[in-house]
Structure 1
Amino acid sequence: MNLKKITLLAACTLLGVSAVSAQDTMDDQGMDNQNDFNRWSIELEAGVHKPTRAFAPGYYTNSPSFGQGGLGVRYMITNRFGLKLDGGYQSIESDDESLEFKSRIIRTSLQGVVNAGDIMNFREWTNTINVLFHGGLGYSILKAEEPFEQGNDEMLNLMAGITPQVKLSDHFVLTGDISAIGNIRQSYTYDGTMRNNIPGVDGFMVNASLGLTVYLGSAEKHADWYNQESKLEEEVETLQNRLDEMENDMQDTDKDGVPNYLDREPNTMNGVAVDSKGVAVDKNGNGVPDEIEDSLDKRYAKSGSNNTVKGADSGTIRKLIDEGYVNVYFKFNSTEPEAYSLQSVNYLVKYMMENESAEAELIGYADEIGDPTYNKNLSERRAKKVHDILIAAGVDESRLSYTGSGEDNSVDKSSNGARQLVRRVTFKLK
């Protein structure tokens, strides 16, 4: 097969593999996954070279010789493997002590590329240094110009090398490269003065280059620096966070049968009926859950009477207040009374208004969760809050006093419902 046809076939192979790889990156829904990382890059390089064989007697070059460069286009099929189509130019000239000659080589090759840095887990310790391996088959033309011009010597080349990388930014990388090139069917020596009779790999040289790689694409990273394991870890962490959030949403903090994410009143008192949105049922709209209101009416009613506490005698009301049946309850770590507890404040207001000589002490409490010193202060602030509400309701400040008793440890601190009972302000009449 003609060597030019081989090169054309190699180029078509690159385009074909690129098209197939693009198909392979489609997910089950037909969506393109190529945006995970950039795949295309342009590579420029220049440097020195050293042809080692074959030369006619008396002909040789400097060690090393300047005058070689290359340009390539690379496509990464995955973050570990890719293809590169590249071309190069080499100017080969005699050393000062050699017989004079001058020739040049133009080459092209299709190479496979291996991202060794990813395979060897470089990303675990650096995001700046990487290494690529490359190797493949190509086509070269050797043309001797001095001391006499020869026709084109067409040949195949085998090329392999290693390319260290130093990342300058997400789109630019400084590279070094050392490559070995072996020529097959090289008919003439590099100096062009005699036929080359070395069998097999007829010619051999080594290139050393510095270069710049430019990454193309809109993704944040190129395949050279993409870490699949890190990406998977991020996805797992994201899923875990979502699961944690869902688990938290599905919790029912106030045990009213409505999960937190649907609960508009997440601190409903235990045991009261709620609607589908977690709001305590309060048909008369007085701020007291109906079940609590019924219980209070029964507790504070006269014996054998259907009247509520409003009709009870002062002695009964005083006893209920003193013995702790009338309390103002609070949400966790809060000085705002529960809405239904304001009725308890109303009972005390009515009693104080009907008994002008009475005085009341307001005693605040907190549960055992948290720092005792903080809870002591919190209990006093709760008592002060109720104190201010009573004054605003018309009770003279001189008839009131308040204090904070800190933590009430009389209940099981692991029970939400029990802790709700001790977050309170209770009253003592004088």
Structure 2
Amino acid sequence: MKKILLTLTFALALNSVSAQTETVETKNSDFNKWSIELAGGFNKAQRPWTSGFRTDTPNFFVGDLGVRYMFNNQFGLKADFGCNTFEEKNGTNNFSTRYYRVDLQGVANLGRIMNFETWTNTIGLLGHAGFGVAQLEDQNSALTDKMANFIVGVTGQVKLTNRIALTADLTTILNAKQNANFDAALTGPGGGFEGILFNGTVGVTVYLGKNAKHADWVVLNDDRFSAIDARFMAIENKMLDSDKDGVADYLDEEANTPAGSLVDTKGKSIDKNNNGVADATEDFILKNYGSGNTSPLLSNNELITSLINGGYVATYYDFNQSTPTSDSTGNTDFILTYLRNNPSASVEITGHADEIGSSAYNDKLSKARATNVKSTLTAAGIAESRLTIVAAGEDTSVNKNSDAARKLVRKVTFRVK
């Protein structure tokens, strides 16, 4: 029994020391650390006794007052003062003694160490052990006996509020150098831890401090799984492929590639003949309008005109921007090349916006986008008379709540006249 008690004390002492070397995050956690503990109950003095002297089982009264400080949510220290009374059991010799003690103890929050929070938020368990001094006094004489003590115990907790908890404690006290029996009879110089006393108390703990919770009930890094989930969600979002071209959005430099288009590793449409039109788009037009189709055979120039008027050539914009994205400026170059090769042609430039924001603002933004493209073309030498702008305002054809869908309608399209 003594070996077990000493082992527990040694472990608590080590844990109390290690608590002072916890991480900065633990030390600075936002929780209360101080508490006051008040309890009362019964005792059982096991030994030493003089023959013919005994107390009732259990024997009343025990009183205990303690002040506790927690370094973190697992380890702390407490100083406490206790008083025990001993009086004769009916049918035994009369006596009346008092036992006073003061102890300094290490405290381990066993509830947190054993992860009670996985099944309860209101039940806790503390372990405590330490050393102190004590004095036994005879109420019928001037006899006093000073001694050292070792104390160890466990305290069950039930949280009522963030400020108050009920407690139930079982404690064992070992007295060293106890010269008098608990009945006040002198026995000569005491030896090692020969005196044994058991206390059982119930009480209340009052938590002090300005924070919402005390260390007894705080779970550090409780949001660690939420943070991990957020990281996984971020990875999943990055791996989305909105245009289904096989290239994840975060790597895709052309996020609106038509379905089925052949793209490079950056998500850009492949244009092997360098005519400014993605090969997949050209194949589609040739298949539906080219030789062998029931539609009349179209010349290359007519194919390009159909491509432009069908909305396959467009410039795209980031949210609330009137300057095209860097990966769609090539489509403005495509229109420039077409106008230079067809000097009699003119182009209607239509600006579009998504549904975010007021309709009036989106009308203004769509016009600004079309005007920006017109300015680029006139600066490149295209006569202003060949260019007209249209502010189409909001495009309501896509899901307003989908960011990927809104990207598809923040654009400028062209129509050859």
Secondary structure of 2:57 counterpart: coil
2:89 pairs with one of 80, 88, 95:
95
CA contact (8 A) 2:323 2:369 kept: no
Matched, 1:175 2:218: no
Give the superposition deviation at 1:330.
Answer: 7.7
Q: Does 1:63 align with 2:57?
A: yes
Quick check: 1:51–1:206 contact (8 Å CA) kept in 2? Answer: yes
> Does the CA contact (< 8 Å) of 1:54 and 1:196 recur in 2?
no
> 1:127 & 1:164 partners in 2: Cα distance?
13
Pick one of 104, 123, 126 that aligns with 2:120: 126
- Counterpart residue identity of residue 53, structure 1: R
What are the equivalent positions in structure 2 for 1:222-237 lying under 5 Å apart? 222-236=214-228
Give 1:131's aligned amino acid.
Answer: L
Contact 2:176 2:190 in 1 (8 A): no
The one-letter code matched in structure 2 to 1:45 is A
User: Which residue of the other structure, out of 66, 69, 74, is the alignment partner of 1:72?
Assistant: 66
CA distance in 1, matches of 2:22, 2:191: 44
Per-residue CA deviation, residues 299-350 of structure 1 (Å, 9 max, x unaligned), is: 8x9x9764647xxxxxxxxxxxxxxx9999785899999936999xxxxxxx
Shift of 1:63: 1.0
State the shift of 1:252 in Å.
Answer: 8.0
The change in CA–CA distance for 1:173 and 1:251 in structure 2 (over 3 A counts) is farther
User: Over the residues paired in the alignment, what is the CA RMSD in angstroms?
Assistant: 5.0
Letter paired with 2:366: A
- 1:159 has 2:151 as partner: yes
Deviations 1:80-133 (A, max 9, x none): 222111110111111222211111011011111111111211110111001111
Distance 1:340 1:296 in 2: 20
Q: Distance between the aligned counterparts of 1:329 and 1:134, measured in 2? A: 72
- Are 1:142 and 2:136 matched, yes or no? yes
1:201 Cα shift? 2.4
* SS of residue paired to 2:111: helix
Partner of residue 83 from structure 1, selected from 77, 99, 104: 77
Which of residues 310, 315, 328 in structure 2 aligns to 1:272? 315
* Alignment size in residue pairs: 302
Partner Cα distance (2:99, 2:319) in 1: 83
**CA separation of 1:33 and 1:120: change in aligned 2, threshold 3 A:** closer
290-299 or 165-174, which moves further after superposition? 290-299
Distance 1:64 1:40 in 2: 32
CA contact (8 A) 1:273 1:291 kept: no
Residue 113 of structure 1, aligned match among 107, 113, 134: 107
Letter in 1 for 2:95: F
**CA contact 2:143–2:184 (8 Å) conserved in 1:** no
Give the structure 2 partner of residue 47 of structure 1. 41
2 CA distance for matches of 1:418 and 1:126?
A: 48
- Retained in 2: the 8 A contact 1:255–1:270? no
Match of 1:193 in 2: 185
Q: How far 1:139 moved relative to its partner?
A: 0.4
Spell out the pairing of 1:23-422 with structure 2 (5 A cutoff).
24=21, 27=24, 33-146=27-140, 149-195=141-187, 199-236=191-228, 255=255, 271-272=314-315, 278-280=321-323, 295=335, 306=344, 308=346, 331=354, 339=366
**Secondary structure of 1:117 counterpart:** helix
In structure 2, the CA distance between the partners of 1:244 and 1:169, relative to structure 1 (3 Å rule), is: farther
Assess, with a 3 A threshold, how the Cα gap between structure 1 residues 166 and 292 changes in structure 2: closer, same or farther: same
How far is 1:217 from its partner? 2.1
Change (3 A) 1:127 1:279: same
Aligned-residue offset at 1:44: 1.0
- Inter-CA distance 112–270: structure 2 relative to 1 (3 Å threshold): farther
Q: Structure 2 unaligned runs (5+)? A: 1-12, 241-248, 257-310, 371-394
Cα gap change, 1:270 to 1:139, in 2 (>3 Å): farther
Say whether the 8 Å CA contact 1:329–1:341 is kept in structure 2.
no
Residues 37, 66 of structure 2: 8 Å contact kept: yes
TM-score by length of 2: 0.57
Shift of 1:76: 1.7
Q: Distance in 1 between matches of 2:80 and 2:57?
A: 25
State the Cα deviation string for residues 31-89 of structure 1 (Å, max 9, x = none).
99434322221111111111121221221111111111111111222322221111101
Q: Counterpart of 2:108 in structure 1: which amino acid?
A: V
Structure-2 change in CA distance of 1:366 and 1:143 (3 Å): closer
Q: CA deviation at 1:232?
A: 3.3
- Aligned partner letter, 2:72: T
